[in-house]
Chain A
Amino acid sequence: MQNDDVIWDVIRHHHCSYMAKIQTGNFCRNPYNVTGICNRSSCPLANSRYATIRDHDGIFYLYMKTIERAHMPNKLWERVKLPKNYMKALEIIDKHLEYWPKLLVHKIKQRLTKMTQYRIRMVKLSKKVREKIMTVPRKEVKRESRREEKALRAAQIENVIEKELLERLNKGVYPDICNYDEEIFNKLLDKNKEEEQEEEEEEEAEVEYVEGDYELEEEEELEEDIEDMGDFLKANNFDDIEGDEDDLEEQPAKKKAYVSYPLKQDDGTEKVRRKGKKVVVEVERDEDMGNRQHNAM
């Protein structure tokens, strides 16, 4: 028996499984509800003549139910497809719900408006490019970090880089590398003068890289000493070498101040050199070069 009031009484005062109570009010979860609020006039179960608009795949349908079909739940709801055009949809609603209560028709039209608006918005959003967030299972994250650690240990990066740089040096890629340490030399200036005489005899031929390529070393060396050094005496070179090497042994960890050496190829911007202070030239020993120097000398 279909008595709306009885149904509403029972639903409201006892239990309705579609009702959701939250702090702002009672809402109805029934998909056929027009407004979504749990109301006497909005309840699709307690109104034998009812209509809604529902959305399927972007197309709107008008659903209607009448009391004549109340005994056939299977065929209860009649469906009418609404066109995408808003005005035309309104006309069709008017046509079908002509003699229906005004309140319901009004609510249905409001619902239609809202749904059209959100359909437009959805289309706009889907055209926009958004970042998609993907999750990575924790197992993989851990595995990657573990492998990375092991790879890091196996890599021995610093050693490899140093080896590579030395290889490049030996191949002759660097035309003019030179660096010297002012501080250390100044400290040990006095000490060196004593040792100088002893070590000069023992000293093995060492190559000075002042400027130019490896091959041009022997020829240009003497000239460079005189021209470029400016304030420096030629004899000081040997001092510098010896003093510097001793220093290297004693104070390996000290931070060095690198001053660039004025080279022939420079633009002419020399760094300021104070009078009286001499500059140390760090040299490298290259076995082949040593022999060559020996022969030249």
Chain B
Amino acid sequence: MAKEKKRKAAEEAVDGDDYIEREDKNPKKQKLILASQIKNKEKRSAVYAKLKHEKRVEKRKKIKARDAASKQALELGEEPPEKMVPRTIENTRELDETVCRPDDEELFAGNDADEFSAVLKQQTAPKVLITTCRFNSSRGPAFIKELLSVIPNAQYYKRGTYELKKIVEYAKNKEFTSIIVVHTNRREPDALLLIGLPDGPTAHFRLSNLVLRKDIKNHGNPTSHEPELVLNNFTTRLGHRVGRMIQSLFPQVPNFRGRRVVTFHNQRDFIFFRHHRYVFEVKEKKEGLKDKKSKASQGKTEKKAIARLQECGPRFTLKLVSLQHGTFDTKGGEFEWVHKADMDTSRRRFFI
């Protein structure tokens, strides 16, 4: 039975497999066998080496042909043949219906009516309360110090043994616009709880890969100008909401003279936080160095504007664990989004 199956498989030889033709004395009986079926190790490895070499030679031929074709097309003034785009996870992401479209009326209406619109429309200035979990140790305080320097108008309050709900009330009385709770686990900051006020949503993030300012090489020192915000890749509705929540932590009028930029970059549901100081420069680029044949463009210097970044401030990644409607209330609250184990089954599906 097994032998029959093998024979059938051999007959339907696919290109990718390592089939070799067995030299048989009787030409009629020549059949294809898998290279892995050869029992002799030396012979088998020799066959594999040959196969690999053949493949490599073929690949090189293809690349050469492609380059030659594109060069020819350029010289003739025609359009070069289309460049092949590599397939990435972002290219092959599962289609998500909740991706925001630029012309979505409902989205804008929702934005006007949501909890952050007051801050985002500059009716109230953001005021952030930072606190920790009950037991704070090791890197926690250092991280909070840096957070205080990143977020303007942020204040740190010690936790004590107050319940979170009481802290929320207290903050409401003092007119804060959001609370950040840094949770420590095993002497490392582990999770971030972002609570919007007065009745904003509660976002629970898992924190990882924290690098403090002193551990960054060639770091810069941030000033106290209001930073610019860059929020990348928050495409879906959920992502849009989270993005607005993050936006409401920062003042909406950045001070461009300070040249500070705070970035939240979402990639595959991981939100990377970076804090830079930037400067624009003119860079001279000499064209024509690669192209030896064309004499006309040699020696010409093109000046391009580039931006240079100097990293300052902490660096960490966030992953959204749950988003709850209303302020912190795990038992009675309504969860808009909770991460469940079976959301991880597909490698091409992302939610933010």
* Closest chain A residue to B347, Cβ basis: A147
Task: Give A260 to B280 CA distance when docked, in angstroms.
Answer: 14
Task: Kindly identify which residue among B89, B163, B261, B305 contacts A285, using a CB–CB cutoff of 8 Å.
Answer: B305
Please report whether the interface of chain B is mostly helix, strand, loop or mixed according to DSSP. Answer: strand
**Given the complex, which residues of B lie within 8 Å of A140, measured CB to CB?**
341, 344
Does the CB pair A155–B265 fall under 8 Å? Answer: yes
Bin chain A's interface residue count.
35 or more
A248 at the interface (CB under 8 A from B): yes
Does the CB pair A177–B230 fall under 8 Å? Answer: no
Does the CB pair A161–B230 fall under 8 Å? Answer: yes
A292 at the interface (CB under 8 A from B): no
Partner-contacting stretch, out of A168-176, A212-220, A270-278: A168-176
Task: Give A258 to B165 CA distance when docked, in angstroms.
Answer: 46
- Given A148-B209, A154-B88, A157-B265, answer yes or no on A284-B272 (Cβ-Cβ < 8 Å): no
Does the CB pair B133–A131 fall under 8 Å? Answer: yes
Does the CB pair B306–A169 fall under 8 Å? Answer: no
**Given the complex, which residues of B lie within 8 Å of A161, measured CB to CB?**
230, 261, 263, 265, 274, 276, 278, 307, 309
B256 at the interface (CB under 8 A from A): yes
Does the CB pair A285–B270 fall under 8 Å? Answer: no
Does the CB pair A282–B89 fall under 8 Å? Answer: no
Task: Give A160 to B272 CA distance when docked, in angstroms.
Answer: 12
Task: Kindly identify which residue among B133, B265, B284, B305 contacts A284, using a CB–CB cutoff of 8 Å.
Answer: B305
Does the CB pair B267–A151 fall under 8 Å? Answer: yes
Does the CB pair A162–B307 fall under 8 Å? Answer: yes
Q: Which of B233-267 contact A (CB under 8 A)?
A: 256-257, 259, 261, 263, 265, 267
A129 at the interface (CB under 8 A from B): yes
Query: Per-position contact with B for A82-108: 1 when CB-CB < 8 Å, else 0?
Result: 000000000000000000000000000
Instruction: Count contacts between A and B, CB distance < 8 Å.
Output: 107
B281 at the interface (CB under 8 A from A): yes
Bin chain B's interface residue count.
35 or more
Chain B proximity of A210: nearest CB distance (Å): 14
- Given A151-B268, A154-B88, A165-B278, answer yes or no on A286-B305 (Cβ-Cβ < 8 Å): yes
Chain B proximity of A41: nearest CB distance (Å): 44
Known: A129-B164, A131-B134, A148-B317. 8 other contacts (CB 8 A): A143-B344, A152-B272, A165-B278, A175-B256, A177-B257, A258-B279, A284-B280, A285-B303
Question: Which B residues contact A (CB, under 8 angstroms)?
Answer: 88-90, 133-134, 163-165, 208-209, 230, 232, 256-257, 259, 261, 263, 265, 267-270, 272, 274, 276, 278-284, 303-309, 317, 319, 341, 344
Across the A-B interface, give the 7 residue pairs with the lowest CB-CB distance, nearest first.
Answer: A155-B267, A151-B268, A285-B303, A165-B307, A284-B305, A162-B307, A151-B267
Question: Which A residues contact B (CB, under 8 angstroms)?
Answer: 129, 131, 140, 143-145, 147-148, 150-152, 154-155, 157-158, 160-162, 164-166, 169, 173-177, 179, 206, 245, 248-249, 256, 258, 260, 282-286
